[in-house]
Structure 1
Amino acid sequence: MSTPQRPSYQQRTAYHVTLLGTVALVCSTALVISDEQTREQIKAAQQQRLAEQIMAVLPPTDHDAAPLERELELELGDQRGTARAWQLSDGDEQIAAIAMESSAQGYAGQIGVIVGIDRDGQVVAARVTEHRETPGLGDDIEARRSDWIDQFEQRSLADPPPEDWAVAKDGGDFDQITGATISARAVVEAVHDALTIFAEHRDELLAPQQVSATDATDE
């Protein structure tokens, strides 16, 4: 039984080139569409996670505080770059507290921390937002792993005094983590830096921001 002969146009090089090009175009179009859809989902998930992290370090409130709508970017000067902060307003539009992003070099990379600070410059709470420290050792800086990070609550630049803003191993006032002293040092530094930035920019941070009606309905 003879094999059916393919049409002559299918035997031409141009046909195969066109076919491959069409397949590549269809695949790339599908990837672009998928990427656009996934990008929006990832962005929404990141915003939701950020909102949860912010609210975890701020005082509890019984009204719609919407801190994501009150984001500030601070120019730190002296080549220190910028810092992000979010305001928590009370029912009278006064700023009750702020959440401040900070970071410091840990054992395996930068450790990101978010610090809630009240109007008086006291820490409400602090949480590690990202790190690459050693699992089972350095990750004890996370609130889900231990209560180590709770020792920063109600601390300020004056409590303890500047020379005691260090881990106990370095003569400071904060517990270290066995086998992860560098990780603990980094978090102490990051929290202290957040308090320092708050003190330097207090007036700006506590000045109520105008939130438009459109922004207020975006969430």
Structure 2
Amino acid sequence: MKHPVTKNALLLALVAIVCVSILTLLQQLTAPRIAEQLLANRLALLHDVLPAAAEQQLLDDCIRVTAPEWLGRNSPQSVFRWREQGEVSAFVVETTAPDGYSGNIDLLVAITPDGTVLAARTLAHQETPGLGDKIELRKSDWMHSFANQAVHEATIRSWAVRKDGGDFDQFTGATITPRAVVNAVKRAALFVQQHPELAEQPANCEAF
């Protein structure tokens, strides 16, 4: 006769195997739907920052780069390229502000090769509701402040919040969040300017 402890252990192991099997099956069934939703979200954001571009072309002409000093992460991030008559007319860069009030702020920024920011949008953040979350378009139009703003020697000092002597508004009661975003967008524009080789590297993003 089996010891009760052994019997219970076998029963628990059987339950665990069944649960794992069910979770694996559910993951397999939902994975395609999740992938489709992620793709739809990415296409919508790409269209938002660069309306004139064909979203699928951006997805196809994409490179992965690791540049933590410029883009804020130690892991690879995507740089999408929009070409007109064979020449890159804009980059759409995934970048991160690592110094947000509550952690990383992930951004998507459209930038011309000469460093002019066409648009910037927030991908993800954990900033304080009612204060730092004004970086979301549904809460505020503050992110529109970056449209058509150039980053070059003559304008570099203006790329700061007003409290630091720059041209960008801070939020009432929350300066850290906008300061982090302004600096991240500025670094992304400088990254594009100072790395012309981005235009020629072969596409290497995984299929979307």
The answer to whether residue 89 in structure 2 is matched with residue 96 in structure 1 is yes
The correspondence for 1:34, drawn from 23, 26, 30, is 26
Query: What code does the residue aligned with 2:141 have?
Result: D
Superposed displacement of residue 204, structure 1 = 2.2
Whole-angstrom distance in 2 between the partners of 1:139 and 1:21 = 45
Q: Retained in 1: the 8 A contact 2:61–2:81?
A: yes
The answer to whether residue 169 in structure 2 is matched with residue 169 in structure 1 is no
- Report the count of equivalent residues: 202
Q: Retained in 2: the 8 A contact 1:125–1:152?
A: yes
Structure-2 residue corresponding to 1:137: 131
Q: 1:103 to 1:160 in 2, by over 3 A?
A: farther
The correspondence for 2:151, drawn from 146, 151, 157, is 157
Whole-angstrom distance in 1 between the partners of 2:86 and 2:202 = 9
Whole-angstrom distance in 1 between the partners of 2:63 and 2:170 = 32
Q: 1:190 to 1:210 in 2, by over 3 A?
A: closer
The answer to whether residue 40 in structure 2 is matched with residue 48 in structure 1 is yes
Structure-2 residue corresponding to 1:119: 113
Superposed displacement of residue 59, structure 1 = 4.0
Query: What code does the residue aligned with 1:71 have?
Result: C
Secondary structure of 1:66's counterpart equals helix
Secondary structure of 2:183's counterpart equals helix
Superposed displacement of residue 109, structure 1 = 0.8
Secondary structure of 2:81's counterpart equals strand
Whole-angstrom distance in 2 between the partners of 1:17 and 1:69 = 52
Flag structure 2 segments of 5+ consecutive residues without an equivalent. none
CA RMSD, 1 decimal = 3.1
Larger Rg: 1
Instruction: Compute the TM-score of the two structures, normalised by the length of structure 1.
Output: 0.77
Query: What code does the residue aligned with 2:200 have?
Result: A
Query: What code does the residue aligned with 1:189 have?
Result: N
Query: What code does the residue aligned with 1:164 have?
Result: S
Instruction: Compute the TM-score of the two structures, normalised by the length of structure 2.
Output: 0.80
The answer to whether residue 205 in structure 2 is matched with residue 205 in structure 1 is no
Q: Retained in 2: the 8 A contact 1:65–1:89?
A: no
Q: Retained in 2: the 8 A contact 1:57–1:126?
A: yes
Superposed displacement of residue 23, structure 1 = 4.7
Secondary structure of 1:134's counterpart equals coil
Structure-2 residue corresponding to 1:58: 50
Structure-1 residue corresponding to 2:187: 193
Q: Percent identity?
A: 34
